[in-house]
Amino acid sequence: MKKMEGSSSDRISHLPADVKEKILMCLPMEDAVRTSILSKKWRHSWVTLPQLVFNDKFCRKARTAPKNELLMAIYQVLLHHRGPILKFELSMCSLKSCSEIDQLIPFVSNNDLQELILHIQSGEPYKLPSSFFSCLQLKHLELRLCSFNPPRRFGGFSMLLSLELQDVAITSRVLSGLIHSCPRLEKLKLGSCKIFSFSHLEIIAPKLKSLNFDGKFRSLSFKNTPKLERVSLLLYEIMPWERYEGRDLSNWVTLFSGLPAMEFLELDYGCLQLISAGGIPERLPTTLSNLKILELSFIRFEHVFELSSIFCLIRSSPHLEKLTIGVLVDGIEHVEIVANFIAVEGWSADISLNQLKEVEMRDVWGTRAELEFIKLLLGKSPVLEKMVIETNGLLGHEAVKFLSKVMRFKRLSPLAEVYYSDPDEDLDGDYYDQDY
């Protein structure tokens, strides 16, 4: 180390305490602890760190060391620690559900904990100890593969701003109650394909701004969510309609009535199927007046009901500015039927895209149904500026044939440009203008 003039001390040892703290928080925990050997001034710097992160960077043996050895190392760090612990993360890839974790939670729960990240990677869902529910200062909470079963007197986390649950065992009643008991909640992310199966979830969250939900659920309702701007709902698979009651199906059509501020909406084909299962209205009962971005994933252009649902959403979104569609090919036997439906229904129906400026079509296979849909968008969008088409597997003559058809389509907007992207050939950025 470079010496300071007139001093036997090293320059780094004279850094302010808050600067040292920032340096240490950028290091893996093992390296932060090792700084204690630099000098007397560094010996105890790490023991007051407000953030303790035990992930795969925690130590060099984190991926291969036995569970007991890793937990013992964590115990040693906690025993030497002094002061508040504002953030505690335990997310090593080798971490399995075990009772030894119970010894860690009480320690951090008594130290003004504001952020907790607990990611169990394998084994049975980890049963959260009673001490966890006393972390009433929590502002950010992430749980993975845990069992959430609060005591009767648990009143929620009144300070919580963000909540992320992945593969967490929790009933819909408890989850609805948890959300309701977090009045400051702004961000909610729920991910599971099994735990929320076919259950009703009611979301009451006056401060909520962002929701990501994937998994299986029978019905969903929003009450008192006036600030919810971003909504992502993914089912990933089709569920049999016969497993839904009539009222549950109707809930899907009226779902958006509780989202007056929604600006971004992402749905997949499973959601579109449920919207259409009870009969597809021309428009939703509630106009999506603030919706500007609509993303639709895994859309199959061989099913009329999916296109009908898309038309319904478009008609209900008068201020839509960006439309993104990811295509999924499940078969081609009904593509011609769908193509004819788009050619007739799309042009004759009251579909207006007066605010649409940008379109992205991903994983396009070049079917006639896709072509008719692209033609419709180009012909109904007076202010369209950019359309990006990313193909999937179209090569050589087939790609040229597909693109030549697209370039012949009439464009209502004089500014519209079509960009072609082939991820396999790295042609992103090539574009074809109106005079192609």
In tens, the pLDDT along 291-336 reads 999 999 999 888 888 888 899 999 999 999 999 999 987 666 667 8
Q: Which residue has the tokens 């039927």?
A: 337
Please give the residue that has the higher pLDDT: either 157 or 71: 157
pLDDT mean over 119-125: 90
Q: At what angle do helices 269-277 and 246-254 cross, to 10 degrees?
A: 110
Q: What integer is the mean pLDDT of 230-244?
A: 68
Note the pLDDT of residue 51.
Answer: 83
Same fold, 50-224 and 229-436: yes
> What is the distance between the alpha carbons of residues 60 and 17, in angstroms, rounded to a whole number?
27
86-90, 122-126, 273-277, 354-358, range with greatest mean pLDDT:
354-358
- Greater confidence (57 vs 290) lies with 290
Q: What is the pLDDT of residues 170-223, one digit of tens each?
A: 888 899 999 999 999 999 999 875 554 446 788 999 999 999 998 777 678 899
| Domain residue ranges of the chain, discontinuous segments joined by + | 50-224, 229-436
Look at phi and psi of residue 366 and say left if phi exceeds 0, alpha if psi is from -120 to 50, else beta: left
**How far is residue 162's CA from residue 167's CA, in Å, rounded to a whole number?**
17
As given in the structure block, the two tokens for residue 91 are: 């997310």
Least confident window among 62-66, 110-114, 143-147, 268-272: 62-66
pLDDT at 167 over 80: yes
User: What value does the CA radius of gyration of the chain take, rounded to a whole number of Å?
Assistant: 27
For residue 13, pLDDT beyond 70: no
Q: Distances in Å between the alpha carbon of 83 and those of 47, 114, 141?
A: 8, 14, 21
Backbone phi and psi for residue 385, each to the nearest 5 degrees, phi listed first: -110, -35
What's the average model confidence in pLDDT over 263-281? Answer: 83
Cβ neighbours for 3, distance < 8 A, ≥ 6 positions apart: 9, 10, 11
**Two structure tokens written together for 64:** 């291969």
Q: How far is residue 368's CA from residue 390's CA, in Å, rounded to a whole number?
A: 16
Residue 293 burial (C-beta neighbours within 10 Å; 0-12, 13-18, 19+): middle
Q: Quick one: tokens of 309?
A: 């649902």
- Would you state the structure tokens that stand for residue 4, as one six-digit string? 């300071």
Find out whether 377 and 356 touch, Cβ atoms under 8 Å: yes
Per-chain mean pLDDT for the chain: 81
Q: How many helices (H) and strands (E) does the chain have?
A: 12, 19
- The rounded percent of the chain whose pLDDT value lies above 90 is 40
CA 273/CA 275 separation, integer angstroms: 5
- Dihedral over alpha carbons 132, 134, 136, 139 (to 10 degrees): -10
**pLDDT at 422 (0 to 100):** 65
47-84: burial string, b at 16+ Cβ within 10 Å, e else: eebbebbbbeebbeebeebeeeebbebbeebbeebeee
pLDDT given at position 105: 87
Model pLDDT, residue 123: 87
Place of tokens 């497993």: 243
Q: Partners of 63 in the beta sheet?
A: none
Average pLDDT, stretch 267-295? 86
Burial of 272 (0-12, 13-18, 19+ CB in 10 A): buried
Closest by alpha carbon to 170, among 207, 126, 130, 209? 126
The residue written with tokens 């909470």 in the block is: 141
Give Cβ neighbours of residue 79 (< 8 Å, ≥ 6 apart).
none
At the topology level, CATH places domain 229-436 in 3.80.10
- At residue 196, the pLDDT reads 47
Residue type, 416: A
Coil vs helix vs strand at 294: strand
Is it the case that residue 117 has pLDDT exceeding 70? yes
In the prediction, which pLDDT does 426 show?
47
Q: What's the CA gap between 136 and 158, in Å, rounded?
A: 7
Query: Identity (one letter) of the amino acid at 19?
Result: V
Q: Topology of 50-224 in CATH?
A: 3.80.10
The tens digit of pLDDT for each residue in 330-385 reads 666 667 888 888 888 766 667 889 999 999 999 998 889 999 999 999 999 999 99
pLDDT tens digits along 244-260: 444 455 566 778 888 99
β-partners of residue 360 are 324, 388
Spatial distance between the Cα atoms of 213 and 192, rounded to a whole number of angstroms = 8
pLDDT of residue 278: 65
In the chain, % helix, strand, coil (3-state, to 5) comes to 30, 20, 45
